[in-house]
Structure formats: C-alpha cells, structure tokens
Amino acid sequence: MAPPDDFLGFGLGLRTDHFQDVLSTKPNIDWFEVVSENFMVDGGKPKHYLHAIRELYPMVMHGVSLSIGSTDPLNMQYLRKLKVLVNELQPQWISDHLCWTGVNQTNSHDLLPLPYNEEALNHVCDRVDQVQNFLGRPILLENLSSYITYKESEMSEWDFFNNVARRSGCNILLDINNIYVSARNHEFDPQDYLEGIDKDKVKQFHLAGHTDYGNYVIDTHDHPVADPVWALYKQALQRFGWVSTMIERDDNIPPLAELLAEVETARNIAYDTLGQLERVKQREIVT
C-alpha cells in the first residue's frame, strides 16, 4: 500500500515556544502546520521565524476564523489577508473548521457546531465555493469536538460532512481526538464516524490531547495524546491508509523533544498498522 502523492508524512503544529529550537536543531520531522491568524500581518519577529523555518520544511496552514457556517457575510478582509499569506508561504494546503464562530459581527472565539440539515448544508456549500474560488484552490475542513446537539438536525455529522465535501469539492481534515471527544459526549460509536466518512476525501489527521471529566470530555490540547485516541488512530489508518498526520499542542506546551517523541509514536503506529495490512494482502494474493 504505497502512500499517495500528496502524503506529507508526520508533522507537528509549529508554536512560538519552539521557533528557536527548530532553527537551531533542525529536527528530523517531515512538516509543520501553522495557525494562519498568527501570521496574517505585514512583518515582525514571528514572521521572520516563519519564513526561516519555511525554507527548511514543508508547511500547511490551519485557520480558526473562517466561520464558514455563519449567517454573516464572508469576511473579505480576512480572506484577502489569508490569500497574501498563502502566496508568501505556498503551503501544501489550507484548512479551517466546519463550524461558525460568531454572528452579527460578534466573534465568540469558539468553534461552534452547526445543525446538520439540508438548509445548513446548502448554506455551507455555497460559502465553501466562494472561498475556494477566491483563494484559487480547494480547502480542507475539520470536524469539531462538540458539546451540544440541535433538534433541527436531520442527519449524522459524518453524513453532513460527506455531503459538504462531495458537493463543494473541498477535502477533509479528520481530527481523531475530536471524534473521540464527541463520541464520548454524545454517546455514539466512533467507529461509525470513521466508517461513515468517504475514504478519498481525507487528506490530513490531527492528533491531540483532551481533559476527561468522567461524564464529559473537553478538547483542551494541553495533554499528550491519550491511549484511546491512539487506538482510534490505528482504526483510522486501517480505514483510510496513508494520511498525513500531525500532533497538536496549544497549552502546557512541553519541550520540543517531547512533542517530537509523540510524532514518532504516530509514525511507528502508522508503519506497524499499514505494514501488517500489506502483509495480510500479500498472503491473500499468494493463497
């Protein structure tokens, strides 16, 4: 099972704490993901580090402010700044979240879920078309960790997600931790989510930590990846094959070496899992 042409390997979310370490040590890592909004400025020291690191590693851009599901008009000032950064960095791809973040020009600074119905689907697909046409390239959308559901929902989240991807031509960033968190909070089987997503639409995986309060789980990105999420990652690999994978950490950020070790764990799980699948297929061919 050969990786697809756009497979980047195993990467890490680039955070300010690690700028100098990355430049000094040039770690053995395949790529970095950057938060778009942190660099949508004309200059400054973070931008200097960003371009220096970009010369060494491939990058992807990940946003948190597109608000693709809001009923507010698309923020064209934001999109123009995003496009400038895209032209500067030439990332492998751009992603954001299948959510809304505010309404009436008020930003909640949170990633809020949508009702999963036909009206919302048509609205999102139209806005994705506008964004992709403006940027001149397809985007990836990421699944959320969610804590509420809507009475107006008419389909599962994964069915809604598939329909958005099919109709708009966008691709999917599948956050494995978010699937686990939402499954716990809403009491569904995470395997159903994995089985429900179109295999050819998934271009990236996120892996991150969460906080488990027993009766509910919060996606906090301030812990190492938990064992149940590693197990779900293995199931995702069995379903989707080689998918570019990265570790996210946004709080309680440890030394770079600790996160690089997590990246290596992801790499080892992927090679072990997909290697076993390939050996099984070879035995089936022989017999």
* pLDDT for the residue numbered 107: 76
* pLDDT for the residue numbered 205: 98
* pLDDT for the residue numbered 280: 58
What is the total count of domains within the chain? 1
CATH number, residue 249: 3.20.20.150
Query: Does residue 86 lie in a domain region?
Result: yes
Q: Which domain holds residue 266?
A: 10-274
Query: Does residue 142 lie in a domain region?
Result: yes
Region of 246 (left: φ > 0; alpha: ψ -120 to 50; beta: rest) is beta
Query: Does residue 284 lie in a domain region?
Result: no
* pLDDT for the residue numbered 282: 58
Query: Does residue 128 lie in a domain region?
Result: yes
Query: Does residue 280 lie in a domain region?
Result: no
Query: Does residue 101 lie in a domain region?
Result: yes
* pLDDT for the residue numbered 271: 96
Query: Does residue 58 lie in a domain region?
Result: yes
* pLDDT for the residue numbered 104: 79
Consecutive 10-residue runs of the chain (287 residues): their mean pLDDT? Answer: 90 97 97 97 91 98 96 96 97 97 80 96 98 98 95 96 98 98 97 97 98 95 97 98 97 97 98 80 55
* pLDDT for the residue numbered 1: 67
Query: Does residue 3 lie in a domain region?
Result: no
